[in-house]
Structure 1
Amino acid sequence: MQARQLPAQRGFAWLGEGLQLWRRNPALLTFASFGYLLLLILVSVAPFIGQVLASLLMPVLSLGVLNTCRAIDAGRKAGPDVLFSGFQQNLPALVAIGGLYLAGSLLVLALTAVADGGTLFGIMTSGGKLEPEIATSTGFTMALLIAISLSTPVMMAYWFAPLLAGWWKVSAPKAMFFSFFACLRNWRPFLAYSIALALFGAILPGIVLGIVGMVSPTLATLLSVPLPLLLVPIVFASFYANARDIFGEPDNAPEQA
């Protein structure tokens, strides 16, 4: 199990490859993507332990979405039950990844208290109201910058971890270790990928809807409704595209660069 080091331009291709994958089976991929989101939302609203359970299940269900993409990519027939296939693939490690990711996220939020006295931590963990004067304060701005800076390595450690644990059967710490360094090694294509996501997922649709809204606000509203149905599964498919590009698959792993 080795990670390729890819050129920057590959990052721009991942979103297009996600679109191609979605076009091969839009119904199944849309079901898996929104089923993943809906299940996490439903679990998270459970009293007391909902947020913790959602964090623990997130790697399991995300592996189910990746398995959906893998089945479509290989041309295999798959049904809606593939979303739950992660429960059969190294479940203890997947749950441990969710726990480590939750712990890392909470630690990052706790460290932001140095800047704003715990305001951001309270809002993110208990859903407190953000007052306008707080949002514009220097301390809160610093807390946001700290959160973004420190949460980036946490996200890097999580990014590939579910598929590494599920497909290669490695332990949670090892999966997160390899995920972090694979992202670090490929920071250039990931930067290009982030630009592509911002451009095609937010900026261009916003410009188009803004222009349409100037002509017909009603039409702009109608066009904005199905937009997530298209963008969300394509973005999920692009996650699979970058994972396949960097790590390959267990039966076709890339050689060490």
Structure 2
Amino acid sequence: MDQSGIQNTIENEAKNAPQLLSEPRRVSAGKGLSWVTQAMLLFSRRKGMWLWMTFVMILISMLLQIIPFIGGIVSGMMTFLFIGGYIFSCDALAEGGSLKFGYIFSGFKHKSMELLVLTLISGAISILVLTVVVVSALAVSPELSAVSSGDAAAMGQYSGKIILWSLLAFLLLLPNGMMVWFAPALITLNDIRPLTAMKMSFKACLRNIPAFLINILVWIVICGIGGVIIGLLAAGPAVGSSGGGEASVFLILLVIPLYLLVFLMVYTWVMLTYYTSYRSVWTDPPLAK
């Protein structure tokens, strides 16, 4: 879809679009589960298209990683652009429109500069936090310098300290995650400036910590179930190998697409949760069940 097509779609839906609240709604803890179930419902309406969009997005990111030196940077720069595409796709589908494959690239065409600014600000914060943690860790525990050189023995010897410093880095990075969770939706759908969107996102997350905790627990359970399924699928070829090479090859060929399907489904659900949580906290009316 070209720029004019995206803009026309936005303008046509603007009259009946959900309205942005002046303050984020404080939702119950149970909404953390609703965000996931609503994402699954959106997914069920166009399963094949969602999976195809996610597959292409991941494929593009993987191909970019091959490019020496700059591949990882370019791939990282595209993250919020793709998230913007998911958000626009969800909004079109949720508000009675159709879901088209080209919508996954709408973040590159609509609000691309704002999403790139969000990427740069968030990335700069992450680099600053990690730099401070690493420098502090080496100052307090100089022996950890052996870990940075890739010494496997040192990693095992100082694993406790590594875990503690990693936990500290995670806790210090949490506010950054809170600032960017709702920001892509606020930028893409409500024309909010990146810095303002980050402030609004942080406030909304802070107001709804119980819901986010439940949401995290739900994802842990889902990933655990997915891990069990994948583990059982992976065990198939090992069992089949005792029955002959042909059986083992058949089971491997069966496991690979099933593994890919489970991964793509869970990944897509996570992406759709950006939108369902945004509608729950920031819009009137919220997303219908």
| 2:181 aligns with one of 159, 169, 180 | 159
RMSD over aligned Cα atoms: 2.9
User: For the residues of structure 1 that align with 2:273 and 2:234, how far apart are their CA atoms?
Assistant: 29
In structure 2, what is the equivalent of residue 7 of structure 1? 28
User: For the residues of structure 1 that align with 2:211 and 2:229, how far apart are their CA atoms?
Assistant: 27
In structure 2, what is the equivalent of residue 61 of structure 1? 82
1:59-208 correspondence to structure 2 within 5 Å: 59-113=80-134, 114-116=136-138, 131=152, 133-134=154-155, 137=158, 138-200=160-222, 202-208=223-229
Provide closer, same or farther for how the CA distance between residues 135 and 89 of structure 1 changes in structure 2, counting only shifts above 3 A. Answer: farther
Paired residues of 1:165 and 1:171 also in contact (CA < 8 A): yes
> Structure 1 unaligned runs (5+)?
none
In structure 2, what is the equivalent of residue 232 of structure 1? 267
Provide closer, same or farther for how the CA distance between residues 45 and 183 of structure 1 changes in structure 2, counting only shifts above 3 A. Answer: farther
Whichever residue aligns with residue 27 of structure 2, its letter is L
Paired residues of 1:108 and 1:150 also in contact (CA < 8 A): yes
Deviations 1:145-168 (A, max 9, x none): 122111111111111111111111
User: For the residues of structure 2 that align with 1:244 and 1:154, how far apart are their CA atoms?
Assistant: 21
SS in 2 for 1:190: helix
Deviations 1:146-203 (A, max 9, x none): 2211111111111111111111112111011111111111111000000000001x22
Paired residues of 1:40 and 1:54 also in contact (CA < 8 A): yes
> Structure 2 unaligned runs (5+)?
1-19, 241-250
In structure 1, what is the equivalent of residue 67 of structure 2? 46
1:5-44 correspondence to structure 2 within 5 Å: 5-44=26-65
In structure 2, what is the equivalent of residue 244 of structure 1? 279
User: For the residues of structure 1 that align with 2:76 and 2:218, how far apart are their CA atoms?
Assistant: 27
Paired residues of 2:85 and 2:107 also in contact (CA < 8 A): yes
TM-score (norm 1): 0.82
Cα distance, 1:50 vs structure 2: 3.0
Larger radius of gyration: 2
Paired residues of 1:25 and 1:72 also in contact (CA < 8 A): no
Paired residues of 2:185 and 2:274 also in contact (CA < 8 A): no
SS in 1 for 2:192: coil
Residues matched between the structures, number: 245
TM-score (norm 2): 0.74
Deviations 1:37-71 (A, max 9, x none): 33333334433333333333221121001112222
User: For the residues of structure 1 that align with 2:165 and 2:34, how far apart are their CA atoms?
Assistant: 34
Paired residues of 1:55 and 1:99 also in contact (CA < 8 A): no
